[in-house]
Structure 1
Amino acid sequence: MYPSDLSDAEWELLAPLIPAAKSGGHPRTTDIRQVCNAIYYHLKTGCQWRYLPKNFPPPSTVYSYYRKWVKKGVWEKINHTLRQMVRQQVGKSPQSSVIIADSQSVETTEKKGDVYGFDGGKKVKGRKRQLLVDSLGLILKVIVAEAHGQERVLAATAVMELLEENPKLLEKVALMWVDAGYSGDKFALAIWLMIQARVEVIKRSDKKFKVLPKRWIVERTFGWFNWYRRLSKDYEKLSEMSEAAIYAVMTRIMLRRLVS
């Protein structure tokens, strides 16, 4: 057993959220719990799929399930379900009234096709992870784009996509916290027109490092990524796989929190 493996209590929460086998045909013989353990091991250690330990199902089988769930948006759906459970566990409403936007530029291992660029401000060649998180720092939406992508455009796109996919998640939102990179009347107006939320820019008062009120929440979320080596860089060829890896990591974090 590895530290990344699911406990019985965690599996009890996750199992109902995993897609059931198709009816008819040959019955499923693969141990899905072990498939999930292998996926979390991969994310935690950062190993390549073919280097998964032999006590897991064959790497091709594990990757096949993982890729299938990515295409169906399973990781994002599980993320939303567990996020609401975590909020309720701490006495919060299932839906947050506050959202926070921020981005993180990360290197890629090589040039990754169209979704690749250079962030001149942070001197990073690769991709940008744009997050929308709730008041607990739990992810509502992630978009992986070129490193030179404009924060305001990406944040507005994330809100728009979430509004189209799952509008209930934004019904109670009245306020969005952002840093100075998202300032501007056009961005604030766009957010208001989409979800009738006010944009509040949290600015630094000087150049000295300070833990800014409210801004530390999303910075902590980025810090959680450091626990999983697969997220140390963007190793994926497809941006949808990069996004799925972030959602999957968050499901592992939330499962641990729910049973602790």
Structure 2
Amino acid sequence: MWTRTSRAQHSRAGLRIASDLTDAEWAVLEPMMPQAKRTGRHRTWPSRLVLEAIFFVLRSGCPWRMLPERFPPRQTVYGWFLLWRDRGLFEALAHRLVLLERERSGREASPSAAVIDSQSVRTTEAGGPRGYDAGKKIKGRKRHIMVDTAGRPLVLRSHSAGIQDRDGAVPPCRPRASASPSSKRSSDSAYAGERVAQATCITPEIIRKPKGQIGFAVQPRRWVVERTFAWLNRNRSRARDFERTIASAEAFLYAASVMLLVRRLGRSA
């Protein structure tokens, strides 16, 4: 519940644009960003401004061509986005920030339990891989995310919505897909197939509906991952999937995770 204290704590009023980074947030990210080469052509635009432009597109949902003039040219921003996407920078930043945020809250850096779930979203006419989710009556893509018990994103994957949950959950469950392997994973009955159980040596715990339940009821630990979906979808570009490629869709998901975690670390600095 929002109070005057919490609103003041989360306020971005002092920034020119609410998606910009504060000095405390940039102090957290700067050591993790790729350093400029000592030789060769010097950068015209600093990494901080380029990253703020990517966060603006992510948060506002505007096209690259409509970036405000205070940011670098859209060709420059988009070029850096593709370079960082292909190098896995957003995923690496997200994993590193999860470890820092867990340590800040007094937890072990590597989580011992995780929760996995999926969300189907519609795509646009941009094209790219898509499918039809018969269960949710949605044509588009499906997002599989794995979070720790506090909702911090660990693994974020995107694929066609036509792929069923028990098949789409295999890549996130594999140990090599996560920088923070867990000893226990919770999921719903859609992940009860053998493929999910054989994807890793860890047997998932299936959280089923209690017998005799009528109507909606909050299930243990299941609400954690649903809350994370809500956090990610507060970025307007994630309300739908506008990206042509799966790689860009996943890069934006990890960028949303970076924005979420770095704000928490910046407030505590």
Determine if the alignment matches structure 1 residue 59 to structure 2 residue 74. yes
Aligned-partner residue type, residue 43 of structure 2: R
Instruction: Structure 1 unaligned segments of length 5 or more: list them.
Output: none
Q: Which secondary structure does the structure 1 equivalent of 2:136 belong to?
A: coil
Distance, in Å, in 1 between the alignment partners of 2:104 and 2:217 is 31
1:50 aligns with: 65
Determine if the alignment matches structure 1 residue 229 to structure 2 residue 236. yes
Q: Which stretches of structure 1, 4 residues or longer, exceed 4 Å deviation after superposition? A: none
Distance, in Å, in 2 between the alignment partners of 1:64 and 1:23 is 21
Q: CA deviation at 1:207?
A: 4.3
> Which residue of 29, 38, 57 maps to 2:53?
38
2:119 aligns with: 104
Distance, in Å, in 1 between the alignment partners of 2:159 and 2:177 is 19
Q: CA deviation at 1:109?
A: 0.7
Per-residue Cα deviation, 1:118-151 (whole angstroms, up to 9, x for no partner): 0000000000001111122122212211101121
> Which residue of 108, 112, 117 maps to 1:93?
108
> Which residue of 129, 134, 137 maps to 2:148?
134
Answer yes or no: is the 8 Å Cα contact 2:85–2:248 preserved in 1.
yes
Per-residue Cα deviation, 1:128-178 (whole angstroms, up to 9, x for no partner): 001111122122212211101121122122222xx2355x621xx221100
Instruction: Structure 2 unaligned segments of length 5 or more: list them.
Output: 1-15
> Which residue of 188, 194, 218 maps to 1:179?
188
Q: Which secondary structure does the structure 2 equivalent of 1:169 belong to?
A: coil
Distance, in Å, in 2 between the alignment partners of 1:164 and 1:188 is 15
Determine if the alignment matches structure 1 residue 255 to structure 2 residue 266. no
Q: Which secondary structure does the structure 1 equivalent of 2:261 belong to?
A: helix
Per-residue Cα deviation, 1:171-222 (whole angstroms, up to 9, x for no partner): xx221100111113x145314xx2x323111122224111211001100110
Distance, in Å, in 1 between the alignment partners of 2:82 and 2:59 is 18
Distance, in Å, in 2 between the alignment partners of 1:164 and 1:177 is 19
Distance, in Å, in 2 between the alignment partners of 1:134 and 1:53 is 36
Q: CA deviation at 1:43?
A: 0.6
Distance, in Å, in 1 between the alignment partners of 2:198 and 2:151 is 23
2:197 aligns with: 189
Aligned-pair RMSD on alpha carbons?
A: 1.5
